[in-house]
Chains A and B, each alone.
Chain A
Amino acid sequence: MVKTARAASMAALVGLVAGAALFGVVSSARAVSTSDKPAAILVWPKIVVDTLGQFNDGAPQETLIQLSNTATANRKMAYCFYVNANNHCQHNPAVVCEDAFDCPSGAGFSPCIPGWSEIDFQILLTLDQPIAWYASEGLQRGDFPIEGPGLCTTPPGRLCTRDQDCGFPSGRCQLGQTNLGSGIPPVPEDPFRGSLKCIQFDPDVNPAVPDQSPTTNSLKGEATIMTIEEFPESDDPVLIEKYNAVGLRATGVSSGPLNELQIGGDAGAEYFACPNTLILDHFFDFSVDPISTTTTDPNIFFSDLTLVPCGDDFLRQIPGRVTAQFLVFNEFEQRFSTSRTVDCFYESLLSNIDTSNNERSIFSALVSGTIAGQTRIRGVGSAATGRGLLGVARLGSIQLFDDGDQVGAAAYNLHQQGNPPPGTPPDVIVLP
């Protein structure tokens, strides 16, 4: 009788343990990347600097990056990586190029070679603190708002090294609430095109480690891309585009080496997975802007898409590499598809994704026949850093007949859908 009861109990227990294990598996595989909640990894897919307007018809561009710590009781550290995706001329690697025509060499042109490099830096944020910087300038010692060893509880904003500096006992000195130790370099080149990733670390541990504490998931960020066109030639000399940084939330689990961050996966996920599918609602390129248009001088829409892989190997300097599959639906529910390789960083006009002849693209209104479209983007591939993708889109309008001047621009975050299917290898960020 006793043996019978024990056998039954053991069987029930084994079943429950198996269920608990499955519970963990199902929870880990969920994709909850977000652009509207604080997170532990932030990705700004598109950072642009071109202060001389070299690749923008003389119109300077700059990116304002905002980062804040939403934790109300803890300081946090952001370990950040600028990914420089500039191309350079083969014959002169100091020259930044967009295509071979930017690389005159002798009687012809030398190839324009894609590049990938990264620089990293750290930012210490006090509780509830917002900071911001321009990508072309960064922030150095002397630029940060709180650079004393401590901050008074009262009077607010006073720096201190001891309680007496704060009028103790009415005020006390909070040592450690400081930005000391932070340094944000300017982007390594001007012009610059690339992305930024920041990973939340816990500075209260020595040495600091990726933050899986109960107060993790406290970073939020935005990017504002500003373009100053020439006035009065341009109807809209000040173009402002803003998007939210995409966040990957920590699971609270720390597994594996500290410098390898596992994103998703069937077991041991330290961060929730990148989405299985990105969804881009857009206007097809060449579609006529239904609002600000006249029959004599219509504006037409163009959109561009920036994609970055979820994973990167910053230690071995191996960028993420993912094949992006595109499924395009027009307002007739007609479907087209194409694919492109995302090698570290991919940015393109929609109508250049599948062809160099924009008018014949499946993303062109001249082919699709409608104004609005839905494009579903899925990553595939077998790179060691995974196959997840993140991105941001940009809507622009140009005047069809007036030298093609850009007259409007707006950035927006992509939608996402679905969890990676079971068995999908995780995305991995390897830190140096």
Chain B
Amino acid sequence: MGTIQRTHAGWMLGALGACVLVASASYAQPQIATERPGSLLMFPKVVRDGTRDTVLQITNTGNMPNHVRCFYLDGAPGFGGVPVWTVRDFELDLTRQQPTHWRASQGRKVDQKSDFGSEEAGLDPGLVPSLPVGFTGALVCAEIGTDGFPVALNALKGEATIEGPGVNESKYNALALQGGTTISDDNVLDLNGTEYAACPAASHLNFIPDGANDPVIEELGFDGICTGGPTPGLPCFTSGQCGLGGSCTTGETNVTTALTVLPCNLDFQNGIPSRITLQFEVHDEFEVMFSGSTQVDCWRSFNIGILSSLRSNLQPFGAITTQYATARITSSSGGPFVAVAESFHTDSAGNTGSAAVNLHMEGTSNARVILSDTF
């Protein structure tokens, strides 16, 4: 009898151990990703500056209604070039599996009588404010429970489509940070890999050095400017287009890349902007290494060519001699960051095509987002 009881006890112990192992395997640490739903969305680049506007899409991928609190962060330069860092927030209610969208310049009204097929047709998720001309900044959205405190349904995904100048379109996925199994009942979101996913410790960017030519446009499009002849200054790709006595000076195409950075440490409650220092470790195709650094106050979007280590040698003081390079970007102070890159390819006539892309991420680094109190 004692043997049987002890054997049963052994089995129970083994089964308990098995359950612990299985549970630990099933509980994966919350992750940050651009291709998975999460509880905290970060759109690093939202633009409404008179020549560009942004369409924002958010979808509830879960089968439960989802209440969301969003914050626009205005990083536009204010007095003395210091970002204004103003915040405005609003709330959304999404039904199960519901996608929604709005234009940054127009926001979205609550109007259940919107015509079928119209721009605002659909279940209006809430009143979304419009952004003023000159807004350049970010959008951060968090899942909220009925009590107003954050929850982790991990069901939000988002995209931003930036249009302009002209008819250019760029599109990127919002960064989604998953929530863990224990979310505290306060407005402090610890991005530490336990309560929420941590931010990346580094980001990787493959790029064409700023100011380099675009070989495809050089080959297939307008890559030159007429000099002399009857049509000086007009775009061309052969000298024959420049008339008698004219010649086509080629190599006038250009590629630039804008990097938009949002620090992960965000204090919407006290309105305290973060300052981080970015370090760039660059390798060209010869595996030669360059480096550079710059600071980001609150939010910043800048051409990577401001650093000579990311600039083509076709430009003054540019360091990179190869057509392509890669950069590993870290933050040496102020905490981690998230970013998105947008490249602009311009021909000799000034026509520009743009494309946004999410950066690759590496490692983890803790941060904190403090939501403002609701009252």
Interface residues of A (CB under 8 A from B): 3-5, 7-16, 18-20, 22-23, 26-27, 30, 33-38, 51, 60, 62, 64, 66, 68, 70, 126-132, 134, 145-146, 151, 156-157, 177, 220-222, 224, 226, 228, 231, 235-244, 279, 281, 283, 288-292, 299, 329-333, 335, 365-366, 369-374, 376, 395-397, 407-417
Contacts and interface: CB of A to CB of B under 8 A. Distances in A.
Nearest to B3: A4
A237 B346 CA distance: 10
A283 B57 CA distance: 9
Given A238-B353, A331-B98, A412-B171, A16 B14 contact: yes
Contacts of A9: 10
Contacts of A13: 14
Given A146-B286, A231-B349, A333-B123, A415 B173 contact: yes
Contact of B157 (A34, A66, A281, A299): A281
Contacts of B331: none
- CB-based closest 5 A-B pairs: A15-B14, A331-B122, A19-B18, A11-B10, A8-B10
B111 interface: no
A236 B353 contact: yes
B43 to A, nearest CB: 13
A238 B287 contact: no
Contact of B99 (A35, A151, A156, A374): A374
Interface in B183-221: 204, 206, 214-217, 220-221
Interface stretch (B68-76, B162-170, B271-279, B298-306): B162-170
B14 A414 contact: no
B121 interface: yes
B358 interface: yes
B359 interface: yes
B113 interface: no
B167 A299 contact: yes
A146 B37 CA distance: 41
B171 A329 contact: no
Contact of B6 (A8, A22, A370, A415): A8
Contact of A226 (B24, B122, B168, B353): B353
B22 A19 contact: yes
Contact of A417 (B61, B159, B325): B61
A22 B25 contact: yes
B256 to A, nearest CB: 12
A27 B29 CA distance: 12
A7 B6 contact: yes
Contacts of A7: 3, 6-7, 10
B97 interface: yes
Nearest to A19: B18
Given A22-B22, A22-B25, A409-B169, 11 more contacts: A13-B14, A35-B358, A129-B285, A157-B287, A228-B221, A239-B353, A292-B163, A333-B97, A395-B161, A410-B170, A412-B173
Interface stretch (B100-108, B130-138, B262-270): B100-108
B167 A235 contact: yes
B361 interface: yes
Contacts of A128: 283, 287, 289, 326
A35 B360 CA distance: 7
A354 B216 CA distance: 35
Contacts of B57: 281, 372
Given A220-B206, A288-B119, A290-B103, A26 B25 contact: yes
Contacts of B347: 231, 237-238
A217 B349 CA distance: 42
A35 B97 contact: no
6 contacts: A4-B6, A235-B166, A292-B164, A329-B99, A335-B97, A374-B59
Given A129-B283, A236-B351, A242-B356, A333 B96 contact: yes
A330 B287 contact: no
Contact of A237 (B221, B289, B356): B221
